[in-house]
């Protein structure tokens, strides 16, 4: 008896999501979550950039600059026992590679809104059997076609629900990245936070190497008290719950440090997937994947990419991100702290120099001589005037003022109104 169309469709979906585990292990660290623990300050709605004055950029009324000084995150020479060797071969040219957009959101079936707090571009150079991963900070403030200015973590929602462009949210994110950074992507994968912990537990957890003790403040909203989430130095095996906080917290190390942790975790997750017999875990993975992952890739494309990915050597996967060294802090008229591109050449150097970046496996390695101990007591975080944690406001559908793009060279001109809605049907 031949299987029915419904049975064939079900088998196709099972296979597609199974191969997605191997292909997009990287997206399992993505997205926020409306848990009763505060992991960062809210994203304000799009607004007008306050152009830089002649003097220093004023500190925003909230955000990291409003906190009392904490123990700094030290930078020093890399450890001597890095997993991967120095890179070999020519520069990585994004215009000649297959590029995939990886999105992580806090979107859930019962929610009407979401933010995309992790955005990565994965480039594959098949002839040279290598890959590169570029992280883009959530607070990057840029021009959104047919909308105005906003943070990049709002673009997925805007494209899906407001401008309704062809390709939806991922299509608009792809267009914005191409317009702003010059990297074109051909396909996308979106991971929603629903099944993250279950996926990590189903593969048996993930081991990461920490050169320094890890700590980040969290606010437990049940008790309304701050505490430290800590992990010891050395090899640390993370279960789903612990992994979630390792890749989500960012109050001390900012979005930049969090992106480094995410990249390190991705490689550890890949290693765990390749060393684990996943057949007994298919039911658990199916449940976790069912509501967590969407993509425009076909099953055959996923299988092909999975085969390529499992054959990559650690030294041939380099990872970096656009950081505070390349961006500049600005404040919007409503006092929101954002990041803008003031010197395009600095950003271009990161993108074009990705092959000289650390291996993905070494993304979060530290100099052990610069490790800071975990502070005693409870964190002292909120200062006078700092707002209480609140939900992220929605992008508005009313006209907003849009200044001259900060990436453009030359003098700025007076902003002019551009409708916030428009585009697709």
Residues 6+ apart with CB under 8 A from 289: 17, 20, 21, 195, 199
Scan for tokens 């590679």, then name that residue. 97
- Alpha-carbon distance of 56 to 295, in angstroms, equals 43
| Band of pLDDT at residue 3, cut at 50, 70 and 90 | low
Q: How many CB atoms lie within 10 A of CB 305?
A: 22
Contact yes or no for 181/191 (Cβ under 8 A):
no
Angle at 380 between CA 379 and CA 386, to 5 degrees: 130
The pLDDT of residue 17 is 54
The pLDDT of residue 61 is 29
- Is 81 strand, coil or helix? coil
One-character DSSP codes across 324-372? TTT-EEEEBTT--EEEE-S-HHHHHHHHHTGGGSPBGGGTT---GGGPP
Is residue 47's pLDDT more than 80?
A: no
Scan for tokens 């000084």, then name that residue. 69
Contact yes or no for 273/23 (Cβ under 8 A):
no
Contact yes or no for 420/148 (Cβ under 8 A):
yes
- Alpha-carbon distance of 80 to 172, in angstroms, equals 42
The pLDDT of residue 81 is 59
The pLDDT of residue 264 is 87
Is residue 253's pLDDT more than 50?
A: yes
What is the overall mean pLDDT for the chain? Answer: 73
| Cα R_g (the chain), whole angstroms | 21
| b (16+ CB within 10 A) / e for 278-292 | beebeebbeebbeeb
- Alpha-carbon distance of 181 to 268, in angstroms, equals 28
Instruction: Give the chain's domains with CATH numbers.
Output: 31-53+78-374+391-418 (3.40.630.190)
The pLDDT of residue 263 is 84
| b (16+ CB within 10 A) / e for 139-150 | bbbbbbbbbbbb
């Amino acid at each position: 008896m031949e299987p029915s169309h419904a049975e064939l469709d079900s088998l196709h979906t099972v296979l597609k999501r199974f191969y997605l585990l191997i292909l997009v292990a990287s997206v399992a660290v993505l997205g926020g979550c409306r848990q009763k623990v505060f992991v960062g300050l809210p994203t304000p709605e799009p607004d007008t950039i306050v152009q830089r004055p002649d003097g220093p950029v004023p500190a925003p009324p909230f955000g990291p600059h409003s906190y009392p000084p904490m123990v700094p995150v030290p930078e020093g020479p890399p450890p001597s026992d890095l997993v991967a060797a120095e890179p070999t071969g020519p520069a990585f040219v994004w215009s000649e590679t297959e590029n995939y957009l990886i999105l992580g959101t806090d979107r859930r079936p019962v929610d009407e809104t979401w933010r995309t707090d992790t955005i990565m571009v994965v480039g594959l150079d098949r002839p040279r059997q290598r890959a590169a991963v570029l992280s883009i900070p959530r607070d990057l403030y840029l021009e959104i076609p047919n909308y105005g200015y906003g943070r990049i973590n709002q673009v997925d929602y805007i494209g899906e629900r407001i401008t309704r462009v062809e390709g939806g949210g991922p299509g608009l994110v792809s267009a914005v990245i191409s317009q702003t950074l010059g990297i074109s992507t051909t396909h996308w994968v979106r991971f929603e936070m629903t099944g993250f912990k279950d996926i990590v537990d189903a593969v048996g957890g993930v081991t990461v190497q920490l050169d320094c003790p890890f700590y980040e403040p969290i606010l437990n909203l049940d008790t309304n008290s701050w505490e430290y989430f800590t992990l010891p130095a050395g090899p640390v095996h993370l279960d789903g719950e612990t992994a979630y906080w390792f890749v989500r917290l960012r109050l001390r190390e900012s979005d930049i440090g969090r992106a480094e942790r995410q990249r390190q975790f991705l490689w550890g997750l890949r290693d765990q997937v390749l060393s684990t017999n996943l057949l007994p875990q298919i039911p658990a993975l199916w449940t976790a994947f069912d509501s967590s992952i969407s993509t425009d890739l076909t099953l055959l494309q996923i299988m092909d990419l999975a085969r390529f990915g499992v054959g990559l050597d650690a030294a041939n996967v380099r990872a970096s991100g656009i950081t505070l060294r390349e961006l500049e802090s600005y404040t919007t008229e409503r006092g929101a702290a954002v990041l803008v591109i003031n010197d395009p050449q600095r950003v271009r150097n990161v993108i074009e120099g990705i092959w000289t970046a650390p291996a993905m496996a070494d993304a979060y390695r530290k100099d052990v001589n610069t490790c800071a101990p975990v502070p005693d007591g409870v964190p002292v975080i909120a200062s006078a005037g700092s707002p209480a944690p609140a939900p992220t406001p929605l992008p508005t559908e009313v006209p907003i003022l849009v200044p001259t793009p900060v990436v453009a060279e030359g003098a700025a001109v007076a902003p002019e109104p551009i409708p916030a809605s428009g585009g697709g049907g």
